[in-house]
Amino acid sequence: MSSIDVRAGVQQLQVAPEYHGQRIDNFLFRTLKGVPKSRIYRLLRRGEVRVNRGRVKADYRLQTGDTVRIPPIRTAAPDSPVVPPGIQAQLEAAVLHEDRELLVLNKPAGLAVHGGSGLAFGIIEALRARRPEPAFLELVHRLDRDTSGCLLLAKTPETLRTLQQAFQSDAIEKHYLLLVRGQWNAGIRVVDAPLNVHQRRGGERQVTVDAAGKAARTRFQPVTLQARASLLEATLYTGRTHQIRVHAASLGHPLAGDERYGDGDFNRWMAGRGLNRLFLHAHRLDFSLGHRQYAFSAPLDDTLREVLERLQYPA
């Protein structure tokens, strides 16, 4: 059962240098653990949270030495998520790199990066439960639940801020492996096609190529080609929702296992060859952090490797 967490009295917090540049909403999420995000945004809208005695919007970026006023808050403190030992062991085995600034995982397919929408926990909650230290651990970016591969987590606020800015400015090289329907005969092809996100009933997102959408650019390069399916590498120059899946489908080559934008007959054929998920894998990330260059590569999991092996003997 959840306990009642009472934060009596007004808190006056001075912003330390390591939080310089962080958005006030993200600062509050960390400071007020257990308080729903909707309530935090309501506190900001009503001016109950103030910085240097003034109202601020959710996107205000903190400065070293700012004084943040937080009103008394009474809320039900959530229980820590119960993470099955098997999931914890799976995540520990998925660590590709760790230092004082970064944690890099080869994210397993089927695990969401965070809880919510009926999920008791995600990767970030599981890692925090497993690793109470460091005190700071945040997702730098997200991968869809069905997508596997390189996932970055920051262990300091400065690292989080720097890498999120790099993602927003498309300064990080993002490379994916994907299996598509049919034989790819286009060679290396760069797709410039704007994408628009539509919200369906129930909150489901559907993305379409639309001149009124946001600019999106993907480079496709063939790796291995066969008559029924081709393995490609995609390089993202922008980071739009479902970008690779929609761009590939728009060319007549939907991804294997894609239930939203794909081909049902092709998906059933691939299921007969052992594919029970979307074939999309974030296999490489290249970026700089300070004066250091990083290049991380995540191997395909056993399921995807076995699917590729079976395709060497088409039925």
pLDDT tens for residues 225-274? 999 999 999 999 999 999 999 999 999 999 999 999 999 999 999 999 99
Contact present, 147 and 301 (Cβ < 8 Å): no
- Considering only the top CATH level, what class is 171-310? alpha beta
Task: At 63, give phi and psi (nearest 5°).
Answer: -115, 145
Band of residue 3 on the pLDDT scale cut at 50, 70, 90: very low
Contact present, 109 and 147 (Cβ < 8 Å): yes
- Can you give the pTM of this predicted structure? 0.76
Band of residue 294 on the pLDDT scale cut at 50, 70, 90: very high
Q: Which residues contact 84 (CB under 8 A, 6 or more apart)?
A: none
Lowest-pLDDT range of 74-88, 143-157, 293-307: 74-88
Q: Which pair of structure tokens corresponds to residue 315?
A: 């039925």
Q: Which residues contact 302 (CB under 8 A, 6 or more apart)?
A: none
Please give the pLDDT value at position 5. Answer: 43
The average pLDDT across 13-18 equals 83
Q: What angle do CA 177, 183, 187 make, to 5 degrees?
A: 70
Distant-in-sequence contacts of 309-313, Cβ < 8 A, 24+ apart:
310/273, 310/274, 311/226, 311/228, 311/229, 311/273
Start and end residues for every CATH 3.10.290.10 domain found in the chain? 3-77
Tokens 């704007």 belong to residue: 194
Please give the pLDDT value at position 260. Answer: 94
Q: Between the ranges 27-41, 190-204, 266-280, where is the mean pLDDT highest?
A: 266-280
Please give the pLDDT value at position 116. Answer: 59
DSSP 4-50: EEEE-S-EEEEPPGGGTT-BHHHHHHHHTTTS-HHHHHHHHHTT-SE
Band of residue 136 on the pLDDT scale cut at 50, 70, 90: confident
CA distance 233 to 219: 8
Band of residue 133 on the pLDDT scale cut at 50, 70, 90: low
Classify domain 3-77 at the CATH topology level: 3.10.290
Residues belonging to the active site: 144
Mean model confidence pLDDT for the chain: 88
Lowest-pLDDT range of 43-47, 196-200, 255-259: 196-200
The pLDDT tens digits of the residues spanning 71-120 come to 987 654 455 566 777 888 889 899 999 999 999 999 999 998 877 555 56
Tokens 């081709």 belong to residue: 230
The average pLDDT across 58-68 equals 92
Start and end residues for every CATH 3.30.2350.10 domain found in the chain? 85-166, 171-310
Q: Which residues contact 306 (CB under 8 A, 6 or more apart)?
A: 274
Residue 12 predicted with pLDDT over 70: yes
Q: Which pair of structure tokens corresponds to residue 193?
A: 């096609």
CA distance 193 to 187: 18
The CATH code that applies to domain 85-166 is 3.30.2350.10
Q: Which pair of structure tokens corresponds to residue 30?
A: 């960390």
Name the residue among 110, 153, 95 with its Cα closest to residue 281. Answer: 110
Q: Between the ranges 27-36, 81-90, 162-171, where is the mean pLDDT highest?
A: 162-171
Band of residue 157 on the pLDDT scale cut at 50, 70, 90: confident
Q: What distances in angstroms separate CA 287 from CA 99, 162, 173, 235, 237, one per listed residue?
A: 16, 11, 6, 14, 13
CA distance 114 to 116: 7
Contact present, 255 and 245 (Cβ < 8 Å): yes
